[in-house]
Amino acid sequence: MFYFFVRRLAVMVPTLFVISVLIFIIIQLPPGDYLSTLVSELEAQGENVDQEKLDFLRQQYGLDQPLLQQYALWLKGMLQGDFGYSFEHNRPVVQVVGDQVLLSVIIAFATILFTWVVAFPIGVYSATHQYSTGDHVLTFVGFLGLATPNFLLALILMYLANVYFGTSIGGLMDPKYLDQPWSWGKLVSILEHLWVPVIVIGTSGTATLIRRLRANLLDELQKAYVVTARAKGLSETRLLLKYPMRVALNPFIADIGNLLPALLSSAAIVSVVLSLPTTGPLLLKALQSQDMYLAGFLLMCLSLLTVIGMFLSDLALAALDPRIRLTGGRQK
Amino acid sequence: MSDHRGPAPTPLGHYVSDAPFDPSETEEVTAEQERLYTSSGWRLMWLKLKRHRLAVYSGYVLIALYGSILISEFLAPYSLTHRHTDFIYAPPQGIHLFHDGKLAAPFTYGLKYRLNMENLRREYTTDETKRYPVRFLCRGDVYDFWGLFEASLHLLCPGEGGTLFLFGTDRLGRDLFSRIIYGARISLTVGLFGIIFSMVLGIIFGGLAGYYGGIVDSVVQRLIEVIRSFPELPLWMALSAALPVTWSPILIYFGITLILGLIDWTGLARAVRSKFLALREEDFTAAAELMGARPSRIIARHLVPNFTSHLIASATLSIPSMILGETALSFLGLGLRPPVTSWGVLLSEAQSINAVALYPWLMIPGLAVVVVVLTFNFLGDGLRDAADPYH
Amino acid sequence: MRRRTTLALCAILAAGLIVAGQAPAQADSKTKRQLISPFFFGHSELSGALPKVERRLPRVPLVAHLGPKQTVGRHGGTLSLLVGRERDTRLMVVYGYARLVRYDDSFQLVPDILENFEVKEGRIFTLHLRPGHRWSDGHPFTAGDFKYYWEDVAHNPELTPGGLPKAFLVDGKPPLFEVLSPTTVRYTWDKPNPHFLPALAGAAPRFIFRPAHYLKRFHVKYAKPQMLKTAAAELRLQNWAALHSLKDNPYRFDNPDLPTLQPWRNTTHGPAQRFIFLRNPYFHRIDPEGRQLPYIDRVILRVSSPSLIAAKSMSGESDLQARSLEFNQYTFLKEGEKRQPYDVRLWKTARGAHLALYPNLNVADPAWRKLFLDVRFRRALSLGINRHEINQVLYFGLGTEGNNSVLPQSRLYEQSQRFRWAEFDPKRANRLLDEMGLTKRNGRGLRLLPDGRPLEIIVESSGEHTEQTDILELVHDSWLELGIKLYSKPGQREVLRKRVVSGQTMMSIWSGLAAGIATADISPAELAPTNPYQFHWPRWGDWYRTGGRAGDPPSLPAAKTLLKLYHDWETATSHAERDKAWRQMLEIHADEVLTFGLIAAIPQPVVVSRRLRNVPEEAIYSWDPGAYFGVYNMDLFWVTRGRKN
């Protein structure tokens, strides 16, 4: 177990390194850099630009240096804890990000919880009553969330919430609570705003989970020990809960690793539509305006989160399922 | 307790039949049973699939949709670019069957337009005095059928001098129903090419990892991990930004499908790998190896056919994510853009609070996406359930 | 008895209150005008933290000139605005519009921060500051602040690595800067510099002064180098220049500690979603009754995703909003009027054309270049555009059709210039094309080039607005009548520019003339090939800008004349000469149809809270000149008392 742990941990490092190279390439792919993008944007809006300031910034931040050098500088800085400077916000990157990462994590977890809560009963029912009308109806409902394009659903729900419940448009809470200390009203307002993104993002994940749960349960329910138990007179519910369920819970844990990147991605799009202060809109803006260091930092954060998530889920799985940690490579 | 009409009880009290028994006797089977037992794996799969009614209906719907791609120009009442300057943002018109309580040929009412100068809103009212019977198999807008010849035969046309806006019109006065039909061409096929690309990559990488194991396996696993842990969104953005603008819309379309496929293959590779790991231990593999077959032959001839059904099921389940990916890319303004028409492009034009509040019919392409994604999912589920013959 | 005592007591109380109420109003010795200080400062004034109003204002404050429908208002109130990015804090410098010289609402240059200025021979500028004018932190605003900028910023190689900003150079030569007195400075050039004053009055102005007393502590000449090093390192900056640059952002307005002369100052450190701007106690303007401006105490800027700003405005979250609102959202905003206390007004945009088509006269393909250089081809293309239809379909007919030329509100406007070659006349267009010899057509009815290729024009756009693609669809249909096929190709801004400059783009669609409501004093640089970002002649523009080192010299005689006229304007010494140059340039453009203007004066929705006064009903929404709300004096906007109705 210990060696498994250490091995997995050791493997994470080169993974992160490769990811950092990929991230850097991706950020540099679009033509131009932050300053030229800024100039184009301002001119498109008919506004003019302070050329001297831009020249100064370009020189200061080495935007005219070759790419390899820029990458090396970035990597070196990161290892020393200096994550660079955000041009858009005119301050070091770490000062910009703060709260948004926290909110992203909160939303991610709330969504995972929601997904589990919805997927679990539907999956179980679906497996035990295969091909019945109930199965079809519930699967349909579960899949509806997957099928609808997220951004459209978010927009519609936000509009309906505004018209029918008076929830203010976009943002995490009603504007009047923004700078005020915590209160009951503030909490209620936040919940009012959170349910839309959680449902929109969560429903797209439910379908996969339902499917997995259903498949695994069906597998288990065919096995000999279930038949034996049933023959011996164990009630259906107890039968279900005692053994197959544990195996079926596998995907719930394993899937965190799969779920996280998809979650963060769709959360980004939904957050843009709903104007939530999470990493999504921040990242999108940074990528569009080529705010190099900010985009790089956020991408590294997101990847790190995912890698850690996968690592943790692998660990959990290994702890849960002895087969995983005992079998390794080729069995010849 | 045994009753003494049967055979004599054995010491353990089990039931033993004393009917005559000849071990060399073969069982009698009916013709139908014989067909069942000797049917190929595919036939078994089909039989199993038939039980899943939802999957079957979904299959029919998809065949109909994909078939419609071939004759889009014929099915659409208007051509793709036909504009009606007088009917901008017109709401959907219904086809009526009853007039004055009497059954009549399907027709639409006239549409009267008034500009409300107060809030600059276009107001449409139905004019029940004018009736325009819908024509079937009629001559309408001229179109180029697959670039081969010009034709003007349409399945449905508006009545003479009338309009047929089944799903309303957009901001240039173009019929949404026709545009959705045309858009299906791109939206439904973007998934296919991406899937093929993805499958090829998945089989190659997954196969190598699963068959050879060891270092190859580790490397491929790490590669998969790197790609998976990468957030999709920025990857899309960057890759789409890298597509040269000089490319024609067709090339860009292919580029998009490649990008979508490039990110998607990991799931398939993992499935292939685990299947290979399992199949590798099978006796027939060992037998083939002992007989001297090369790995490529073993993989192609023995291992792959064993899980083609799984592959198909997986692929069917991946296509919807491609379709949704295309809509997301269009929403972000990457990927396909007007004047190319796909459901994603249509949706991005409806993506504003304006549309939701004032012109909700612009979101109907979203419904089309939902339908297609659902049907693919149900079909894929059914296929997957049916794929494993041992259930 | 008691009754009378009570009455007497009341009378005394009343008298006392009246006397007390007079307290904030102080007589101004010079003009015998009562100066009224905002209640906002009442407490600070009493406690001595702030001096009394007559010591806060300059000796001769600027008396604001009320617009035609504006009234005198009251102090107080908070205004909430929505912006799309944190960077938009600069909008408060734009809207506040306190400048050395500024444009008034008829777009004439008048002194603002300056008490007055003199211009001799168009090249000697003497600027007189207001004695007693102070920065927002109370420190005096003097010629020393100009000196600091000139000597220690503009001429410092580390702060300005590119050398003195080009805007200061006339014919490559810098001016002579003199400080004549604590409140007078003079800039002398050898040749006339018509760009100087408009640059000072711009929406994003050239700041030629800095709060020296504040910035000196970040400058290596005045502060201890060691301290600078530690301060820079603390903020993870490389050197003192980066530190100075960070603190010194008068336009971006992101440093709450940097003193300013604008009516409101930023008090929030970023990063933030909400920026609070409080009134500047030393602001130099007063209203006709002596109240120190601005009327409004606080302006709150809230950062929100740009696509949601329309929806939020509809829910009543903004008191004054034009930014990020588009015309196609008008109906939607109008609906919200029923539920929220705001009105939606329609102003007009000020570009010569909201969107225009730019044929690339420097396109690489020789056959196409020959065609574009032929004026008959350009005239035919322009005649083939159905502007009326575009206006009806996209703007409900509310825009102004015509060429990419100045608008009726400009004094340089000539009606014939707007409509020459701009009516929809396909017959005439076809005749012109036939005249040119493009009579051969292919099977599909498209005309052919002399070498046999069909006339297919690819118009590239930056792909940001569906508006552009829509317009191109309409133009496609009308050009088909001429036998020309249009292909629309959306791209990306950056890439589009590169392609245009390298000659690969045939034609592009972009916004039109920025100086749509130009006066003769504004630079007509747009009308001549002066920079490589002009989409119709990038190489000629590059040739001019680099002094002949890159690009190609103009081959079209009209372009050469335009350059000569531009030079005439630059060296003109009188208003009349500049006016003449402008008019001639406009005439050439109208005749030669160098760009295809489409629709101008697009309606711009402006959401105004019902409690807000002095905001014009109808006005022009323009960046430069205009500064959006700036030219209409946002400091004169005031909020009525009472509940939102």
Please enumerate in sequence order all residues whose Cβ is within 8 A of that of C213, keeping only pairs 6 or more positions apart, or say none. Answer: C135, C139, C259
| Helical (H) or strand (E) element with A91 | strand A91-92
Chain C CB within 8 Å of residue A41 CB: yes
Percentage of chain C beyond pLDDT 70 is: 94
pLDDT of C531: 85
Amino acid at A131: Y
Single pTM value for the model: 0.83
Alpha carbon C503 to chain centroid, angstroms:
30
Q: Which residue has the tokens 């531009």?
A: C566
C-alpha torsion angle, residues C4, C7, C12, C13 (rounded to 10): 140
**CB-CB: which of C314, C332, C389 is closest to B85?**
C389
Chains touching B by CB (3 or more pairs below 8 Å)? A, C
Percent of chain A with pLDDT over 90: 0
C325 touches chain B (CB under 8 A): no
As a whole number of Å, the end-to-end CA separation of chain B is 37
State yes or no: cis peptide before A175, omega within 30 of 0: no
CA distance B139 to chain C (A): 21
Q: Is the CB of A150 inside 8 Å of chain B's CB atoms?
A: yes
Q: What is the pLDDT of residues A73-130, one digit of tens each?
A: 888 888 877 787 787 777 778 877 877 777 777 888 888 888 888 888 888 888 778 7
pLDDT digits (tens, 9 = 90+) for A2-51: 777 787 788 788 888 888 888 888 777 776 777 777 777 776 666 666 66
Given a cut of 70, whether residue C600 has pLDDT beyond it is yes
**Res C388 pLDDT > 90:** yes
CA atoms of A39 and C604, how far apart (whole Å): 24
Tokens of A188: 């209620």
Q: Please give the Cα distance from C265 to C279 (Å, whole number).
A: 6
C-beta atoms surrounding C508 within 10 Å? 24
> What is the least distance, in Å, from the CA of B161 to any CA of chain A?
36
pLDDT for C333 beyond 80:
yes
Domains and CATH numbers, chain A: 2-92 (no CATH), 96-328 (1.10.3720.10)
Average pLDDT over residues A139-162: 83
* Per-residue confidence (pLDDT) for residue C30, from 0 to 100: 45
Interface residues of chain B, partner chain C, Cβ below 8 Å: 81, 83, 85, 88, 115, 118-121, 171-173, 241, 245-246, 333, 337-339, 349, 352-354, 357-358
pLDDT band at B174 (very low <50, low <70, confident <90, very high): very high
- Interchain proximity A46–C85, CB inside 8 Å: no
Write the single-letter amino acid at A262: A
CB spacing of C332 vs B120 below 8 angstroms: no
Closest CA to B108 of B99, B97, B98, B95: B95
Task: Determine whether the interchain pair A19/B370 forms a contact, defined as Cβ–Cβ distance below 8 Å.
Answer: no
Query: Is B366 an 8 Å CB contact of chain A?
Result: yes
Q: What pLDDT score was predicted for residue C598?
A: 94
- In this structure, the dihedral spanned by the alpha carbons of residues B269, B275, B278 and B284, taken in order and rounded to 10 degrees, is -120
Q: Which residue has the higher pLDDT, A285 or A153?
A: A153
- What residues 225-264 of chain A have any CB closer than 8 A to a CB of chain B? 257-258, 261-262, 264
pLDDT at B2 over 50: no
Q: How far apart are CA A237 and CA C432, in angstroms?
A: 87
CB of C504 within 8 Å of a chain B CB? The answer is yes
In angstroms, the separation between the Cα of residue B361 and the nearest Cα of chain C is 16
At residue C209, the pLDDT reads: 93
Phi, psi (5° rounding) for residue B109?
Answer: -85, 165
CB-nearest partner of C396 from B81, B115, B352: B115
A299 or C644, which is more confident? A299
- Chain A contact present for B213, CB below 8 A: yes
C497 contacts chain B (CB < 8 A): no
Beta carbons of C463 and B337 less than 8 angstroms apart: yes
Cβ contact, residue pair B119, C396, below 8 Å = no
Total CB pairs under 8 A between chain B and C: 70
Judged by average pLDDT, the poorest of B238-242, C415-419, C462-466, C473-477 is B238-242
With an 8 Å Cβ cutoff, are C311 and A170 in contact? yes
Q: Residue C20 — very low, low, confident or very high, per pLDDT cuts 50/70/90?
A: very low
Question: Residue for token digits 């001549």?
Answer: C528
- Report d(CA A181, CA A183) in Å as an integer: 6
C540/C529 Cα distance (integer angstroms): 6
Cβ atoms of B380 and B309 closer than 8 Å: no
B307: nearest Cα among B274, B347, B281, B261? B274
Task: Closest CB to C330: pick one of B83, B120, B338.
Answer: B120
Q: Looking at beta carbons, which residues of chain C come within 8 Å of B358?
A: 331-332, 335
* Rounded Cα distance, C382 and B6, in Å: 107
Q: Please measure the distance between the N-terminal and C-terminal CA atoms of chain A and give it in whole angstroms.
A: 22
- How is the beta sheet containing C320-321 ordered, strand by strand? C320-321, C603-609, C342-349, C620-621
ipTM score assigned to the predicted complex: 0.77
The DSSP secondary-structure symbol of C181 reads E
Relative to beta strand C124-128, strand C184-188 is antiparallel
Q: What is the mean pLDDT of residues B137-164?
A: 81
The stretches of chain B forming alpha helices (DSSP H) are 31-38, 41-51, 53-70, 72-75, 176-212, 214-229, 232-242, 249-280, 283-290, 295-297, 304-331, 343-349, 353-358, 364-387
Distance from CA of B345 to the nearest CA of C (A): 11
Mean pLDDT rounded to a whole number for chain B: 80
Q: Which domains does chain C have, with CATH numbers?
A: 355-599 (3.10.105.10)
Q: Residue C472 has what pLDDT?
A: 93
Q: Which of A8, A28, A135, A152 to mutate against chain B (most B CBs within 10 Å)?
A: A152
Tell me: the pLDDT tens digits for B297-336? 777 777 777 777 777 777 887 888 888 888 887 877 777 7
- Rounded to whole angstroms, the Cα distance separating A213 from A224 reads 19
φ, ψ of residue B379 to 5 degrees: the values are -60, -45
Smallest Cα–Cα separation from A301: which of A106, A92, A94, A89? A94
CA-wise closest residue to A244 among A75, A122, A67, A124: A124
- Give yes or no for a contact between B186 and B253, defined as CB atoms under 8 angstroms apart: yes
Q: Is C522 helix (H, G, I), strand (E, B) or coil?
A: coil
Contacts of A92 (CB under 8 A, 6+ apart): A82, A83, A84, A85, A86, C235, C236
The chain-wide mean pLDDT, for chain C, equals 88
Which DSSP string do the residues of C447-504 spell out, in sequence order?
Answer: BB-TTS-B-EEEEEE-S--HHHHHHHHHHHHHHHTTT-EEEEEE--HHHHHHHHHTT-
On the question of pLDDT at B389 being above 60, the answer is: no
Q: What radius of gyration, in Å, describes the C-alpha atoms of chain C?
A: 28
Find which of A35, A36, A40 to mutate to test the C interface (most C CBs within 10 Å of its CB). Answer: A40
